[in-house]
Amino acid sequence: MSNPYLEAPLRARMYAKTWHKPVWVAAVVLSAGLLAPPLFFIAAKKRVVPLAVPALYAAVIYGTAFLSDAAGNRGNWAGGVLLLALITAAVHAAILDTDWKTAR
């Protein structure tokens, strides 16, 4: 006999339905990464990722925007940093539930 408590996943599911994943990834990409920290904050509240992850994304994304505005953005470095953060956040959002297995 199978016991649902023994075969339960170790972590909570991030996305309740299958269409939530492409919607969140598209939201992160279309917002130019600005919605990445709220997405990972929700993931941290569900204990899917540590709380340091949304703090790091917020520091990189929002900090780059404010610092480049204050410093004048000489050499156009802010666009590259934000693009790398956007790609990293989109890939990270897409792989959040890959190790979760459905009930058998």
Residue by residue, what is the 3-state secondary structure of 14-74? CCCCCCHHHHHHHHHHHCCCCCHHHHHHHHHHCCCCCCHHHHHHHHHHHHHHHHHHHHCCC
Domain spans, the chain? 33-94
pLDDT in tens, the chain (104 residues): 566 555 655 556 778 788 888 998 999 999 988 899 999 999 899 888 899 999 999 999 999 989 988 888 888 888 899 999 999 999 999 888 766 555 54
H or E element that contains 103: none
